[in-house]
Chain A
Amino acid sequence: MPGTAELPVCDIDVFSPAALENPEELHRVLRTAGPVVYLSRYDVRALARHEEVHAALADWQHFESGSGVGLANFRHEESWRPPSVLLEADPPRHDAPRRVLRDILAPSALRVLRAAWQRAAEELVEQVLAGEGTFDAFTELACAFPLRVFPDAVGLGPDGRENLLPYGNMAFNSFGPVNDLVRADAHRVAELSAWVNAQCAREALTDDGFGARIWAAADRGDLTQAQAPLVVRSLLTAGVDTTVHGLAACLYAFATHPEQWQRLRERPELARVAFDEAVRWQSPVQTFFRTATTDVTIADAVVPEGTKILMFLGAANRDPGRWDDPDRFDLARDPSGHVGFGMGIHQCVGQHVARLEAETLLTALAARVEHIELTATPRRHLNNTLRSWASLPVRVHRTR
């Protein structure tokens, strides 16, 4: 590739099972190599330091999303599905869907859900604690809680909800290369896509959820009728797996940092900070790509027009140039400025939903559980984009 002679080169396969299983070492290598690193396997430039990742995320004028936020470049390659009107769109087309969803998912709009989600969290925790005190915190809490509250809030029907996690897993794999992870799901693409698309129709949604509000916005002309189902699809794609693995990150953090759990029990209002610190520390969304809209210079290196850059959010969130003792999960830290939700106009529009889920679940747990510990080594699930889990076996000690 022209113009790469002066760049540090890394030939590691950053989407290999080894790298996905244990990304911290790769992140260290990339951050140390330089502000811009050429990944020879994929012929793309990569950013792994906080300063450059933060700046590139915010700079939508020079780094567009419309050519795809994965390795595939929509300028030359077709997407596996109609592109997202949010994630894979740029201003001005991005404006209306973003505004509509931002208002529907704003903290003030979510206030009405808080009491019900608090009750749902308490019921779930009581149910889990009624057993012997050992369970898989990934399936029993991190998966179970979002699946109890979020599909109802969107207004999904009762059937087929088991498709949500596999669809999200497939969608987040698709941002990487076509490797074994993508090939493993290839036979389900048509079936899962058909189910998700069917749930986005007005008739499939209850009349009081986020989905109905999206359609109401289309009726007011704030969105087009064609955009409405795609905005609902964004909720279903980006709103489940991400929160599941974000909650799992919290539970893993507290199971391995008992002193932080004590701190949360003493001050339950730290639940929100705890969630953002866990998102910083584990970065459930590890990477996203952008495409240069012109020749862009970053730290003396030129990213040529039309080429992709790969931003390592997880590496930026542990950059020692930005964070003191970055590998420590610490509730005393101010995690503000982490890029786990992205930054700028594409910053996670559902982050307040995720925070409310985390806050209600963690508060319910903190009131009832004295201590959480691992009973076996947790298992990761590999995904090209998500830092995911397969199991998180724990033992909890109920408050006396």
Chain B
Amino acid sequence: MVVTLEISAKEAVAEGVVALTLVHPAGARLPDWTPGSHIEVVLPDRTVRHYSLCGSRWDAYTYRVAVLREPYGRGGSALVHDTLRPGDRVGVGGPRNHFPLVPSETYLFIAGGIGITPLLPMVQQAELLGAEWQLLYGGRTRASMAFLEELTAAHGERVHIAPQDEVGLLDLGSWLGAPRPDTKVYCCGPAPLLTAVEAACAHWPAYTLRTERFTAAEQAAPVRDLPFEVELRRTGRVVTVTPDVSVLDAVRRVGVDVLSSCEQGTCGTCLTPVLEGSPDHRDSILADHERAANTCMFPCVSRSRDDRLVLDL
């Protein structure tokens, strides 16, 4: 469900980063959320972008998101930076959470650049729970890193600031230290950072590392290289999906609308219930047990392992 919210404030929070505050035009409560959640924002050009909520959920009336200007992006961030103004209205879907904070005695948080946004409410929550926690926050330069003052003022020495132009690449191995069973590692940031953290945590206990990707993880080749059929049970249609098109595009070609955003299996917008069949999951969101359940898939990237897949569309 998409609701229309109003931008009540827009401020620069670092070089190339603006924070937007969103409110309901009638002052109503906004849907509840948990740390790690993101919202889907429908921009004026009808494209959808997803942004992590980085405010406080104890304030039920505002959402806060922070947006990095991405010169080589698809234009959404430029639109937010250059066009949107306080008083403008945008469609907002969600919140959804593919990156929940699970209980732990100790947390190690690792943020790269704008990846700080979902971690901001997490460190507040870890503090509230009385957990042991540390944050390693890397970025290009100090000036490009959002919320630095807010973090260091509130949490002091728990926050380790590591701008690349001052200290070089993050020394993950020595910061993470020896594997500990009482610890969860949360990481959000650019793909090379996530890959490095995954490697550094490879010998930690299973389920220790929790990540959120803004770009897709590398995937093996699809399980099948033959066409397959997708039945859209509610619509009563069957479409053939050839190897050169996505399930999402094939479904759209027969006129069935599915809201999507990243189209690379990272945002979760196009989540679709699976009624029968076995998807070839190619997203960067679902955990292994969720894949095995075969009850949902992301048709922007995921395909079928068998001849036929039945979707609740």
Contacts from A to B (Cβ < 8 Å):
58-61, 91-93, 95-96, 99, 108-109, 111, 216, 220-224, 227, 344-345
A95 vs B104: C-alpha distance when bound (angstroms): 13
Q: Which residue of B lies closest to A223 (CB)?
A: B103
Q: Which residues of B contact A109 (CB under 8 A)?
A: 293, 295
Q: Which residue of A lies closest to B128 (CB)?
A: A92
Q: Which residues of B contact A220 (CB under 8 A)?
A: 206-207, 287, 289
A95 vs B102: C-alpha distance when bound (angstroms): 8
Contact indicator B295/A221 (Cβ below 8 Å):
no
Indicate whether A58 sits within 8 Å of B29 (C-beta atoms), given known contacts A92-B128, A93-B129, A95-B34.
Answer: yes
| Interface residue? B58 (CB, 8 A) | yes
Q: Which of A59, A96, A223, A227 contacts B60 (CB 8 A)?
A: A59
| Interface residue? B91 (CB, 8 A) | no
Tally of contacts, chain A with chain B, CB under 8 A: 51
B126 to chain A, nearest CB (A): 9
Indicate whether A108 sits within 8 Å of B273 (C-beta atoms), given known contacts A91-B34, A92-B128, A221-B184.
Answer: yes
Q: Which residues of B contact A99 (CB under 8 A)?
A: 34, 97, 100
A83 to chain B, nearest CB (A): 16
Q: Which residues of A contact B97 (CB under 8 A)?
A: 99
Contact indicator A216/B289 (Cβ below 8 Å):
yes
Residue from the set B103, B128, B273, B295 with the largest chain A CB neighbour count within 10 Å: B103
Residue from the set A58, A93, A96, A345 with the largest chain B CB neighbour count within 10 Å: A96
Contact indicator B296/A108 (Cβ below 8 Å):
yes
A129 to chain B, nearest CB (A): 32
Within 8 A of A (CB), among B94-148: 97, 100-104, 125, 128-129
| Interface residue? B57 (CB, 8 A) | yes
B97 to chain A, nearest CB (A): 8
Q: Which residues of A contact B206 (CB under 8 A)?
A: 220
Top 3 closest pairs, chain A to chain B, by CB: A108-B295, A221-B207, A92-B125
Q: Which of A91, A92, A111 contacts B275 (CB 8 A)?
A: A111
Q: Which residues of A contact B100 (CB under 8 A)?
A: 95-96, 99, 222
| Interface residue? B32 (CB, 8 A) | yes
A8 vs B129: C-alpha distance when bound (angstroms): 40
Q: Which residue of A lies closest to B206 (CB)?
A: A220
Q: Which residues of B contact A96 (CB under 8 A)?
A: 100-103
Contacts from B to A (Cβ < 8 Å):
29, 32, 34-35, 57-58, 60, 97, 100-104, 125, 128-129, 184, 206-208, 273, 275, 287, 289, 293, 295-296
B67 to chain A, nearest CB (A): 26
Contact indicator A345/B103 (Cβ below 8 Å):
no
Q: Which residues of A contact B207 (CB under 8 A)?
A: 220-221
Contact indicator B102/A345 (Cβ below 8 Å):
no
Q: Which residue of B lies closest to A108 (CB)?
A: B295
A96 vs B184: C-alpha distance when bound (angstroms): 14
A223 vs B29: C-alpha distance when bound (angstroms): 29
Q: Which residues of B contact A61 (CB under 8 A)?
A: 58, 60
Contact indicator A95/B101 (Cβ below 8 Å):
yes
A142 vs B161: C-alpha distance when bound (angstroms): 61
B23 to chain A, nearest CB (A): 16
A111 vs B310: C-alpha distance when bound (angstroms): 14
A189 vs B56: C-alpha distance when bound (angstroms): 41
B55 to chain A, nearest CB (A): 13
Indicate whether A224 sits within 8 Å of B103 (C-beta atoms), given known contacts A92-B129, A216-B289, A345-B32.
Answer: yes
> 17 more A-B contacts (CB under 8 A) besides A99-B34, A111-B295?
A59-B29, A61-B60, A91-B34, A92-B128, A96-B101, A96-B102, A96-B103, A99-B97, A220-B206, A220-B207, A220-B287, A221-B102, A221-B103, A221-B207, A222-B102, A344-B32, A345-B32
Q: Which residues of A contact B103 (CB under 8 A)?
A: 96, 221, 223-224, 227
Q: Which residues of A contact B35 (CB under 8 A)?
A: 92
A128 vs B293: C-alpha distance when bound (angstroms): 36
A220 vs B208: C-alpha distance when bound (angstroms): 9
Q: Which residues of A contact B125 (CB under 8 A)?
A: 92
Q: Which residues of A contact B287 (CB under 8 A)?
A: 220
Q: Which residues of A contact B128 (CB under 8 A)?
A: 92
B311 to chain A, nearest CB (A): 12
A59 vs B59: C-alpha distance when bound (angstroms): 10
A227 to chain B, nearest CB (A): 7
A224 vs B287: C-alpha distance when bound (angstroms): 18
B201 to chain A, nearest CB (A): 13
A221 to chain B, nearest CB (A): 5
A26 vs B283: C-alpha distance when bound (angstroms): 55
A57 vs B60: C-alpha distance when bound (angstroms): 13
A227 vs B275: C-alpha distance when bound (angstroms): 32
Q: Which residues of A contact B289 (CB under 8 A)?
A: 216, 220
Q: Which residues of A contact B275 (CB under 8 A)?
A: 111
A224 vs B103: C-alpha distance when bound (angstroms): 6
Contact indicator A221/B101 (Cβ below 8 Å):
no
A162 to chain B, nearest CB (A): 33
Q: Which residue of B lies closest to A97 (CB)?
A: B103
A326 vs B273: C-alpha distance when bound (angstroms): 36
Q: Which residues of A contact B60 (CB under 8 A)?
A: 59, 61
A99 vs B273: C-alpha distance when bound (angstroms): 18
Q: Which residues of A contact B32 (CB under 8 A)?
A: 60, 344-345
Q: Which residues of B contact A224 (CB under 8 A)?
A: 103
Contact indicator B129/A221 (Cβ below 8 Å):
no
A27 vs B208: C-alpha distance when bound (angstroms): 51
A168 vs B129: C-alpha distance when bound (angstroms): 31
Q: Which residues of A contact B102 (CB under 8 A)?
A: 96, 221-223
Q: Which residue of B lies closest to A94 (CB)?
A: B34
Q: Which residues of B contact A108 (CB under 8 A)?
A: 273, 295-296
Q: Which residues of B contact A344 (CB under 8 A)?
A: 32
A308 to chain B, nearest CB (A): 21
Q: Which residue of B lies closest to A103 (CB)?
A: B290
